[in-house]
Amino acid sequence: MTVIDTLAAWSADPESALRRLADDQEFYIHLLKEFVQDPALERLRLALNRKQYQKAFLNAHELKGVAANLSLTPLVQSLSRMVEDLRGQTTPGPEFQEHFIKMTTDLDELRLILREADINNKSQAE
């Protein structure tokens, strides 16, 4: 199973992202690897730890946009919920923690997909 197939099985829509990228799978995978290391993820965690919910909102909104451009449907959904939880709030609503956990789980799943793809590529090259 290719990384594209695995992403589709995860409910992402890599085919739509690839259409926007002239079907350049190598570039798409590069962008995915950059996304999972996006500094906005750390800024989001830092803002939440400091209870700076407006900053957290902006970071979550930024990440949602990038995830949408990469057609990472599970992350778009969990980030959308977080954005709505944080929108105009001095403190997030009661469901926020659940949505944050879902987002981090989705992100971990994406990292695992990418890591397994790297391992498979290395073993095929040997």
- Under the banding of pLDDT at 50, 70 and 90, the label for residue 124 is low
Note whether residue 50 is domain-resident: yes
Residue 29 lies in a domain: yes
What band does 117 get if pLDDT is binned at 50, 70 and 90? Answer: confident
Q: List the structure tokens of 37.
A: 């290391």
Residue among 77, 97, 101 nearest 10 (CA): 77
Asked if the structure places residue 124 within a domain, the reply is no
Q: Which residues have a Cβ under 8 Å from the Cβ of 34 and sit 6 or more positions away? A: none
Assigned domain for 53 exists: yes
Domain with residue 104: its CATH number is: 1.20.120
Residue 123 lies inside a defined structural domain of this protein: no
Write the CB contacts of 47 (distance below 8 Å, at least 6 apart in sequence): 53, 55, 56, 59
- Does residue 126 fall inside a structural domain? no
122 inside domain: no
Determine the pLDDT at residue 58: 95
- Domain annotation covers residue 15: yes
| pLDDT confidence bin for 119, thresholds 50/70/90 | confident
pTM of the model: 0.90
C-beta separation of 91 from 76 below 8 A: no
Q: Domain of 74? A: 3-117
Dist CA 8 CA 41 (whole Å): 23
The yes-or-no verdict on residue 121 having pLDDT over 80 is: no
- The answer to whether the CB of 92 falls within 8 A of the CB of 86 is yes
Q: What total number of domains does the chain contain? A: 1
| Mean per-residue pLDDT, 79-98 | 89
Give me 7's structure tokens. Answer: 């992403």
